Structure formats: C-alpha cells, structure tokens
Chain A
Amino acid sequence: MPEAAIRRSAEPFLFRTLAIAFTVFIVGYILVPILVTLVMSFNDAAMIRFPITVWSLRWYADFFGSAQWTDALRNSIVIAAGTAVISTSAGILCAWAFQRFPIPGRDALYVLIMLPLFMPGVVLGLGVAIAFGGLSIGGYSFYGSRAMVMLAHSLWAMPLVFMLMEATFRTVDNRIVEASYDLGGGPVRTFFEIVLPMVSTGIVSSLLFAFVISLNEFVMALFLTDRDTQTLPVLMWLSLRSAGTPRLAVASVILALTVFACLSLIMLWYIRQLRKVSQ
C-alpha cells in the first residue's frame, strides 16, 4: 500500500482522537468546579474537606434555617429581579429608538452605551458609591439600598439588553409595523401590541440574562450593600474569610441552580416560539 494512502487513513483517526480528547477535557474543565461544589454541599462534616465520610442534607437545613443566609438569598433575588426589569425596559426602549429614529452621533452613542460593559466592576462600584453615597431622598438613605444596587447592576445589564434587542429589532419586518399604522394603530399601541410580541424571545432572553448578571455580580454589590442588603455572593465572601463550612457549597449550588433554571427558561421559550411560527 502506498505510503500516502496509509497516512490518509491514519490522519483522520488521529485527528478524531485528539478532537474527542480535547472535547472531554473542555467539558470536564467546565463541569468539575460545579460538580465538586455539588458533591461538597452534601457533606456532613463541619469543614469543606475531602474525603466525604458521611452524606447528609444537614447544611441545606442549616442554610434555610439561618435568617442571615435566607435574607441574603432574598436580597440577591429581589435585586436581580429589579435589575432585570430596569435594564430590560431601558434597553428595549433605547434599542427601539435606535432602530426607528435618525439619531445624531449614532455610532458614538452606541459605543457610549456599550462602555459600562467593559468597565471593571470596582471602577463602576466605587464611582456609584462616591456619586450617590450621600444621597438621601425624603430621609431615605439611598446608599446601601437595594434600589441603588439594582441601578448599578443595570449599568452592566442594560448594554447587553440593548445589544441583544437592537439585533432583534432589526429582524422585525418594517411592513408589519406599517400595516399596524395603516389600520389605525398609533405608535404606542403598535409598539406594545405588534412589535413587542414579535420580539418576545428577545425580551425573555434579556430579562433572564439581566437577572443572571445581577445574581452573579459580586464587586459592585460588595461596594454598595450594607449588612441588611448584602447579596448572597457578598455574604459568601465574608463568611469564607471566617469559616469555610459546606454551607458555602450549598449557597453555590443554589446560585448555580438558579442560573441553570434561567437558561432552561430561555431555551424553552425559544422552542415554544419556534413551534408557533413554523407549524
């Protein structure tokens, strides 16, 4: 058999083996931290340590029995929900304006809107803390409030929503918008009744992305929260310095599961929409 032919048959095999090995490595690399945390959360011991001798749900009971930890979880979720609403509504309106109206200095404005996304969290967190630290409205101190963290997190989430929705709005057939005007639908009604349902996948994705971004965010939350409003990642960091109990693993699993649930929702909605338009 000529040498070239042997090489041709051998090469794909080598290549395939390498590809598989690499994929396994990548998947493992992604999964290991999550799996380790998951396993550790069922550890009965008082410290995060291998090997696990006794399995139990002790730390889950401990987590949900502790007011400090459940408060932190509630803070995280409330702030994430608020961030999702604020950044999605702002991002959608901004993207629609970009799509519909001639805006002077459009490209420069685009870069400006995207800028916070590339800013370090410390810079934004410190900036917001300095700028609004002394602010109080009607005796209500703004600093340390959940609202302030929501706005700070929206600095990151809004550009993402804007980018996503700007691309989504471009897929909207302008003739359909015109058809709504044509039949007597004003701009506001057209936007809410015709345009928004057409981009529902984008909206759901935006909401959940923004939610996840806020849930995961740590640095700004560290700068801007106090004892009553601290989020789960902040509390985890603080307690890691005192004692590394498996309670931390439980908190991690809960955060990871929430993120996973959000991603699943995006997928489900996407599939639902696909079904609807291609029956």
Chain B
Amino acid sequence: MVAPALELRNVVRRFGSVVAVNDVSLSVARGEFLTLLGPSGSGKTSTLRLIGGFEDLNSGAILIDGQRIDHLPAYQRDTATIFQSGALFPHKTVAENVAYGLRMRKVAPPDMERRIAEALDVVRLRGFEQRYPAQLSGGQKQRVALARSLAVRPAILLFDEPLSALDLSLRLQLRAEIKRLHDELRFTAIYVTHDQGEAMAMSSRVAVMNSGRIEQVDAPEKIFHAPASEFVYTFIGESCCLPVEVGPSGVADKSGALLPLHLGQSQPTGKSRLYVRPSRFRLAAEAAALPNRLRARVHFIEFLGDVYRYHLKAGALELAADHPGAIGVKAGEEIDVGWRNEDMSVFR
C-alpha cells in the first residue's frame, strides 16, 4: 500500500491554556487538493504552520510519504508555503526570488535557468524576471510567490490564505488559475481559507475545522449537501434555523403550538433545531404540494440582486426565504411557505 502524501496523527498544539489544534488526524493522498476551512481561531492556520514547521507540536505525529517529519526544522522539510502577504524577498528580483529555493536545493545552474523559466511560464510572468517586488501589483506578487514555491517541486504545497488580501475580481481570477495549475500539475496541496466559496471551488476534499478540531472531511458536494454536524451546516452556505420541540404528539414551536412537519422516523424527543437553506423554501402556490408547509406573515422583504429575500414569521418561528422574483405580497400580508423533507436537517 502506498503511504499517503501527508498524514497527521493525533496532532495537538497548545498556546498556554488554549488548545489551538486539538487531536487532529488527517490523511491526504498524492495529488489531492485539501482545504482546511473554518472561522478565525478554528486552528486551521496553526495546523498548516505545524505542517510547514513554523510551530512545534505538543503531541502527535506528522508524516510526509510515510516518514515522520515533525522533528525537522522548517528548512529541512519538503514543503513550500504561499503566504497571505506573498512574503517575497524585497531586495531580490523576481528571478532571484524564484531561484532562492533552487539554490538551497543545490540545483545546477543550467537546470536552474530552465526551472525558473518554467515556473514563471506557469504563472504567466515571463518578462518580469528583473522586476523587484515593489514594482509588482498584488496579484503579480502572489503569482511570483506561487512560482517560487512551485519551482522547488515540494512534496506538499501549503497555501496560507493566499488570496485574502486581494480584491474580489483578482481573487476569483487567481482562484481559477490555481485550480487550473492543480489540474495541470497535480501537486499535493493543503489550502487554508475562511472563504467557503474558495474551498468549494478548488478542493478535491474540504476539512471543516472548529475550535481546534476537524468536524468533517469530505468532498465539497458532501460537505454542502450532507453536513455531518450542525456547525458544518451553519458554517457552509446560508441557513435558516427553526428551534422546535419534539414531543409525543408531534413537533411544536417554542410556544407549544403544533407544527405540521414531518421530521421522519425516530426523532428523539426534546429540543431540536431544524434547518432549511433560504434557497430551498418555496412560496405561495409553489408551496402547495409540499409535505412541510406553514402559513406565515411577511415581516419585511429585501432585494439581494439575484433574489428577493422574504423575512417571514410563522407563530414563534422566523424564516428567511429566497425567491427569484417578486410575488406581489407586501409586508404584513400572509403567505404559504413550504419545503421538501430532503431539504431539511435536524440537529439537537
């Protein structure tokens, strides 16, 4: 059996009394693009820095190609990081920046020239060899950083929120470029981000992190459609939370009013939270044939561009439902809202 390109075994990292990385285990196959996704403080950056060798772990093990590397300093690990700020060497030209890692690996000069040219080709920066970082735009800097890391052909590429300092259009453009590069070169990558759009668009798998732990590791589609935990459900995409009470006679809202909902078999009794994504609600006539249906009063309406968002109140419940067009109801009027069983998730 081939050893995974990267393996984390029960990795723990504490900062004083704070457990930044709490018993994280992870296995990444060669050529995989795995994203660590989570809010700030979830331990995703700490995990990446542990792999790169910028932090020491308190316990556990990190293996690259089956070899333990957690005792090695950063400069002896076969990883290369693309930092958020680019972290280019300001007094070196683009070519010298790219050459640095190759020189450290004692690549012969003729080979080096070729690999610098290749790396700059790949990020479409040929002709920029003699520029200094101060003469480059933000996007170009990040592409040089990418070329510098790609040139050394590391076992693992580590991305530390490389796009978060760029503006939106540049971010989307570079996101597509990194994706294209991965499709071409099939490098193994760990990508840290708090942007779920990035995570979904680029990754072969996503690991959702929360307070130092991995909540779920799965393909992006699985993460989105079959979230393993309430945290994952609420962190990914938008969601509308309906707090309910499951009793022997059925499902009730906070005030005890029974709701005509079908939670499926074997829901334990007690307090639960029921989630539906705003885009999955159906309104008015479209709701008529659906198994879960409530009569709600329109609280207010927001225009969000692609959709109108209807903020609704049904008894003690508050809902937010998206609809592509205006449906001719005004605030204060009543409307039917419904959803399919499979569009509903229940957590307790």
A279 & B74 in contact (Cβ 8 Å cutoff): no
A251 to chain B, nearest CB (A): 40
Q: How far is the CA of A276 from the CA of B132 in the complex (A)?
A: 8
A277 is an interface residue with CB less than 8 A from chain B: yes
Q: Would you give the 0/1 interface string for A153-179, flagging 1 where the beta carbon is closer than 8 Å to chain B?
A: 000000000000000000001011011
B79 & A182 in contact (Cβ 8 Å cutoff): yes
Known: A277-B134, A278-B134. A182 touches B90 (CB 8 A): no
Q: How far is the CA of A198 from the CA of B90 in the complex (A)?
A: 7
B114 is an interface residue with CB less than 8 A from chain A: no
Which residues in B have their C-beta under 8 angstroms from that of A190? 75
Which residues in A have their C-beta under 8 angstroms from that of B85? 173, 175
B135 is an interface residue with CB less than 8 A from chain A: yes
A180 is an interface residue with CB less than 8 A from chain B: yes
A181 & B74 in contact (Cβ 8 Å cutoff): yes
Known: A175-B85, A176-B90, A178-B87. A183 touches B135 (CB 8 A): no
Which residues in B have their C-beta under 8 angstroms from that of A186? 75
Q: Would you give the 0/1 interface string for A186-218, flagging 1 where the beta carbon is closer than 8 Å to chain B?
A: 110110001001101000000000000000000
Binds A, one of B13-21, B100-108, B187-195, B246-254: B100-108
Q: How far is the CA of A189 from the CA of B100 in the complex (A)?
A: 11
A185 is an interface residue with CB less than 8 A from chain B: yes
Q: How far is the CA of A194 from the CA of B152 in the complex (A)?
A: 18
Interface footprint category on A: 20 to 34
Out of B91, B100, B105, which one reaches A180, CB within 8 Å?
Answer: B100
B73 & A183 in contact (Cβ 8 Å cutoff): no
Q: How far is the CA of A277 from the CA of B131 in the complex (A)?
A: 11
A183 & B87 in contact (Cβ 8 Å cutoff): no
Which residues in A have their C-beta under 8 angstroms from that of B75? 180-187, 190
Q: Which of A181, A190, A276 has the most CB of B within 10 A?
A: A181
B347 is an interface residue with CB less than 8 A from chain A: no
Which residues in A have their C-beta under 8 angstroms from that of B81? 178-179, 182
Known: A185-B100, A279-B134, A279-B135. A180 touches B89 (CB 8 A): yes
Which residues in B have their C-beta under 8 angstroms from that of A187? 75
B104 & A198 in contact (Cβ 8 Å cutoff): no
B54 is an interface residue with CB less than 8 A from chain A: yes
Which residues in B have their C-beta under 8 angstroms from that of A279? 132, 134-135
Which residues of B, 91-105, contact A by the 8 Å Cβ criterion?
A: 91, 100-101, 104-105
Total of A-B residue pairs, C-beta within 8 Å: 73
Q: Which of B81, B85, B87 has the most CB of A within 10 A?
A: B87
Q: Would you give the 0/1 interface string for B49-62, flagging 1 where the beta carbon is closer than 8 Å to chain A?
A: 00011100000000
Known: A181-B74, A182-B74. A176 touches B87 (CB 8 A): yes
Which residues of B, 66-88, contact A by the 8 Å Cβ criterion?
A: 73-76, 79-81, 83-85, 87-88
Which residues of B, 277-295, contact A by the 8 Å Cβ criterion?
A: none
Q: How far is the CA of A200 from the CA of B85 in the complex (A)?
A: 22
A223 to chain B, nearest CB (A): 43
B152 & A184 in contact (Cβ 8 Å cutoff): yes
B148 is an interface residue with CB less than 8 A from chain A: yes
Known: A183-B148, A279-B134. A178 touches B101 (CB 8 A): no
Closest A residue to B148 by CB, please name it: A183
Q: How far is the CA of A176 from the CA of B152 in the complex (A)?
A: 17
Known: A184-B105, A276-B132. A175 touches B83 (CB 8 A): yes
A183 & B90 in contact (Cβ 8 Å cutoff): no
Which residues in A have their C-beta under 8 angstroms from that of B83? 175, 178-179
Q: How far is the CA of A131 from the CA of B282 in the complex (A)?
A: 92
Closest A residue to B104 by CB, please name it: A184
B152 to chain A, nearest CB (A): 6
B53 & A179 in contact (Cβ 8 Å cutoff): no
Q: How far is the CA of A194 from the CA of B105 in the complex (A)?
A: 17
Which residues in A have their C-beta under 8 angstroms from that of B152? 183-184
B132 & A179 in contact (Cβ 8 Å cutoff): no
A183 to chain B, nearest CB (A): 4
Closest A residue to B89 by CB, please name it: A194
A89 to chain B, nearest CB (A): 20
B122 to chain A, nearest CB (A): 17
Q: How far is the CA of A184 from the CA of B53 in the complex (A)?
A: 11
Q: How far is the CA of A189 from the CA of B74 in the complex (A)?
A: 14
Closest B residue to A182 by CB, please name it: B81
Known: A175-B87, A178-B87, A276-B91. A183 touches B101 (CB 8 A): yes
B334 to chain A, nearest CB (A): 56
B80 & A183 in contact (Cβ 8 Å cutoff): yes
Q: How far is the CA of A276 from the CA of B52 in the complex (A)?
A: 31
Which residues in A have their C-beta under 8 angstroms from that of B149? 183
A178 & B74 in contact (Cβ 8 Å cutoff): yes
- A sample of 26 cross-chain residue pairs with beta-carbon separation below 8 angstroms, ordered by A number, consists of A173-B87, A175-B83, A175-B84, A178-B54, A178-B83, A178-B87, A179-B87, A179-B89, A180-B89, A181-B53, A181-B75, A182-B52, A182-B80, A182-B81, A183-B75, A183-B101, A183-B148, A184-B101, A184-B152, A185-B75, A185-B104, A186-B75, A194-B89, A197-B91, A277-B90, A277-B132
9 closest Cβ contacts across the A-B interface? Answer: A184-B104, A183-B101, A175-B87, A181-B74, A179-B87, A197-B91, A181-B75, A175-B83, A176-B87
Extra contacts, 10 of them, besides A180-B100, A276-B132, A276-B134 (Cβ < 8 A), are A176-B89, A182-B79, A183-B80, A183-B101, A183-B149, A184-B76, A186-B75, A187-B75, A190-B75, A200-B91
